[in-house]
Structures are given as C-alpha cells and as structure tokens.
Amino acid sequence: MTTAMAGIAADLSALTGRLVLSDLFRTYDMQMQAHLDYVNKKKRAFSPPPGGSFHEGGRAMDLSLPALKMSLDDFWVLAKKHNVVPIISQPNSSLDEAWHFECRGSHQVVIDYYRNRAGSNFKSPYAAGAASAILAIGVRVDQFGSAQKEAQLQAALIRCGHEIGNLDGAIGVLTRAALTSLGLAGATLDDALAHVEDIAQKAFRGEYKVVDQSILALTEQLEIKSPGHVVLDA
C-alpha cells in the first residue's frame, strides 16, 4: 500500500494533481466509531462493524476527488497501474464511496474464492476478503472469537490456492487435508501458520518485500492540511 500510494502521488504530481487522504488505516476502535456514526446517521456512507473493512488491514484509502485534478475515469486507469481499485462499480463521483480505493493484493483471492461459492459463511465475498486482510496483520476479527490464529492460517491457505471450505477458525477435515498436502500433518498451530505464511511470502513477494527507503521518505512528507486530511506530495 505504501508503494502504491507513493507511485500514485508521483503520477498525480506530474499531472499537477495531488493525493489528499482523509482516511487510511483504522484501528478496531476507529472502525467501531465509523460504524456507529453510520448507524446513528452522523455519516451517510456505509461503514461496516470491525472486522469488515480493508481500512483495518491498512489496505484502503479515502481521498479527495477535487485534489486529483482529473476525471474519476482517468484516475481509475492511473490507480489500476498501481494495483489499486475502486470499491464502486462505475466511475461516478456523485456516488457514495467514490473516494474509496483499495490495494487488496492476495486477499482478492479470498474474495474470488467466496464468489465461486467455495465458502458460504460471510455476508459477502468482500467481507471475507477484508477479514483475511485484517487477520494477516494480526488484528482481531471478533467473528472468530478465540480462534484468531486458526482463522489466519485458513485465510493464508485460501490465498495460496487451497480449498478448505469456510474460513471460520475451525480446523476441520478440509483444513487438515490441506495441511497434510503440505507435509504439516501433526504440526503445531504456530509451526503450521509460520510455514504457510512462508509459502504466501514466496507466492506474493510484492506484498512482503522491504519498502524502498525513498518510498518511505515520501510517506514522511505527509502533511496535515485540515482535521482528518493529509497530503502526500511526490
């Protein structure tokens, strides 16, 4: 996400636009507040309860459309070059969430897995993908109760191409079969998780590589312009 933001900011700067963010990573409490604000009609745009937003996985950003200095259609094309996608289905700036973009990475695999009905315990494929992204950075997803590591392991298995039924935190026959196929029969939960995460790192190297220092330097230029808004100038 850091690399994508820096790349987008650089492209926009070359075209006289700017990347101005109003939201990026949300903690559990921040997501709960956003959800309550929606429920209490303090905000119009839908915000799910904790466990259902790519913001919690550090993979979503809300941006200022006027600051882009280009049409939403054109920005969609620019963003796609950096593996960043919109949450709405058409480039219409009057729609709620027209400002919301995500860098889903391998968690798109989980969305597609549920779209193909390999799993059925989430309200939507999108919610399953968001849960996977949140689990991947070690943030709690209430839906899984005390089985956070088990769910993280299952999500990693799905991302690596295994069919294990529902992502539910319950290590059943299909999850055990996937682990056996990897030579992990009888492995401890921690060892199995470490091994599958290692496979994921090799499969999705771009998500785990150390961010170039020049890119990190760009993120340090984030400047508060108004409450809740920051600007990333390349």
The CATH number for 91's domain is 3.30.1380.10
Q: Where on the phi/psi map is residue 191: left (φ > 0), alpha (ψ -120 to 50), or beta?
A: alpha
Residue span of the structural domain in which 124 resides: 117-203
Domain count, the chain: 2
Let me know if residue 181 belongs to a domain. Answer: yes
Average pLDDT over residues 172-188: 97
Let me know if residue 223 belongs to a domain. Answer: yes
Residue 15: which residues within 8 A CB-CB, separation 6 or more? 69, 70
Tell me: the pLDDT tens digits for 34-90?
999 999 999 888 889 999 999 999 999 999 999 999 999 999 999 999 999 999 999
Let me know if residue 112 belongs to a domain. Answer: no
Query: pLDDT value at position 216?
Result: 57
Query: pLDDT value at position 10?
Result: 93
Confidence of residue 206 (pLDDT cuts 50, 70, 90): confident
Instruction: Give the percent of the chain with pLDDT over 90.
Output: 83
* Count of Cβ atoms closer than 10 Å to residue 201 Cβ: 13
Tell me: the pLDDT tens digits for 93-133?
999 999 999 999 999 999 999 999 999 999 999 999 999 99
Query: Is residue 100 domain-shared with residue 11, that is, in the same domain?
Result: yes
Average pLDDT over residues 146-172: 98
Query: Is residue 196 domain-shared with residue 178, that is, in the same domain?
Result: yes
| pTM assigned to the model | 0.89
